[in-house]
Structure 1
Amino acid sequence: MLHAMPSELEKMLSGELYVAADPQLVEMRARARTLLSQYNAVPFEEPDKRRELIKQIFGEVGQNIEIQAPFYCDYGCHIVAGENLYMNFNCVVLDCATVKLGDNVQFGPNVQIYTATHPLLAAERIKGPELAFPITIGNNVWLGGGTIVCPGVTIGDNTTIGAGSVVTKDVPLNVFAAGNPCRVIRELTT
């Protein structure tokens, strides 16, 4: 029996090398760009219109979501957001893989979430295929302004990431972590 070759979308979502120029992926990004252009143009005084657009952009979205414009993402449909999400101005989510945001997640301005990556070896990288690895951000997490979260990272519940941090590895729950690369500074207790 013949097995169908996986699509570039399937490869992308499963962490395999994929071709971003694939027509299906280009079309999906174009849809997201159109909706993001509309979202970023909606006046602040029209929260219902912004909410409706976010529901069209994101894969799943909880209640009480506030995302300050401008906001940018690759596909949008791979973002799963819980309740009470807040993103300050100029946040970027490259959601080539799934991005799961728990309840009560807060982003400072200029936070960047990168699921996308490229082969490290130049000979492979210049061939064009890319990679993507999912990111999970737990409940009650605060990402300080200018934080960058790299592909494949999980940040545990109740954790605070200091401004300007570059998160390259998983961060446990209930800690304050900061720096480049981001590291645990101390545990957080009640």
Structure 2
Amino acid sequence: MSHDLVNFPFEDLGTETHWKREGELLHRFNHLPYGEAQERAAILAELFAQAEEVIITPPLAIARGHLIRFGRKVFINYNAQIAAAPGAPITIGHHTIIAPNVQIQTGTHPVDPTERQKWAYCAKGITIGNNVWIGASAIICAGVTIGDHSVIGAGSIVTRDIPSCVLAGGNPARVIRELTPPDESTLYALNP
């Protein structure tokens, strides 16, 4: 098993105290009528470690929102599943767009059958850079870093790091081609 994974024994499952409050907030968020942007933003501010100028279309499923940080002007479409674990946070950069049905999961299970009997699960953090677009139904697995300005194709399963300024896709996701790097001095001029 990788030494940089955080391991959790079965005895620790269910001992966390945040579940009830997080569940109540998620229920409120997912059942608000459309047009309640201010109340939705207030709930997001309570659910996540950082969520300034973030728009999320319900329904949303999360685990341990207090370990998830968003940059500014992030948009997440419906049916997102975002699950962090203790010691394995999730960071999503500024101006990132996440399409419907995307899963971002820091938790995994040991492949070795003996290890799997010792540990309920293991986890490793995920970092998604600035100005990334993740296509519909993509899955971002534990330990992955996606570089700035990259695009992840719809339905891709990202199991390893993706560099900046590339189009990646497939199962497992691989770099398909490089993208032209943006002019950083003017990139956000229309949408600061």
TM range (shorter): 0.7 to 0.9
CA RMSD of aligned residues (A): 1.4
Deviation at 1:126, TM superposition (A): 3.2
1:36-68 superposed Cα distances (whole Å, 9 cap, x missing partner): 1111011111010000000000011222x1101
SS class of match (1:77):
helix
Question: Per-residue deviation at 1:162?
Answer: 0.4
Give the drift of 1:128. 4.4
2:70 counterpart of 1:70: no
Q: Letter of the 2:163 partner, please give it.
A: P
- Confirm or deny that 1:134 pairs with 2:125: yes
Unmatched segments (≥5 aa) in structure 1: 1-13
Task: Letter of the 2:161 partner, please give it.
Answer: D
- Which residue pairs with 1:42 in the alignment? 32
Matched, 1:161 2:131: no
| Partner in structure 1 of residue 186 of structure 2 | none
Structure 2: tracts of 5 or more residues without a match: 183-192
Among residues 121, 124, 137, which one is paired with 2:115 in the alignment?
124
Distance 1:29 1:38 in 2: 14
Instruction: Output the CA distance in 1 between the equivalents of 2:130 and 2:139.
Output: 18
Question: For 1:15 and 1:33, how far apart are their aligned partners in 2?
Answer: 27
Deviations 1:119-168 (A, max 9, x none): 11223223443211000000000000000000000000000000000000
Partner Cα separation in structure 1 for residue 117 and residue 79 of structure 2: 30
Scaled by the length of structure 2, the TM-score of the pair is 0.86
1:17 Cα deviation from its structure 2 partner: 1.3
* 1:149 aligned to which of 133, 136, 140: 140
* Match in the other structure for 2:22: 32
For residues 37 and 109 of structure 1, the distance between their equivalents in structure 2, rounded to whole angstroms, comes to 19
Partner of 1:60: 50
SS, match of residue 65 in structure 2? coil
- Tell me, in whole angstroms, the C-alpha distance in 2 between the residues paired with 1:129 and 1:163: 30
Contact 2:107 2:124 (C-alpha < 8 Å) held by counterparts: yes
Distance between the aligned counterparts of 2:69 and 2:5, measured in 1? Answer: 18
Q: In structure 2, the residue corresponding to 1:104 is in which secondary structure?
A: coil
Match for 1:17: what amino acid? N
2:188 maps to which residue? none
Is the strand fraction higher in 1 or 2? 2
C-alpha distance in 1 between matches for 2:115 and 2:131: 39
Deviation at 1:30, TM superposition (A): 2.6
| Matched residue type, 2:30 | N
Q: What residue in structure 1 maps to residue 73 of structure 2?
A: 84
Q: Does 1:171 align with 2:157?
A: no
Identity of aligned residues (%): 39
* Paired residues for 1:6-21 under 5 Å: 15-19=5-9, 20-21=12-13
Residue-pair matches, total: 174
2: CA distance, partners of 1:127 / 1:34? 32
CA distance in 2, matches of 1:128, 1:42: 38
The TM-score with structure 1 as length reference comes to: 0.87
- Work out the CA distance in 2 between the residues paired with 1:87 and 1:124: 35
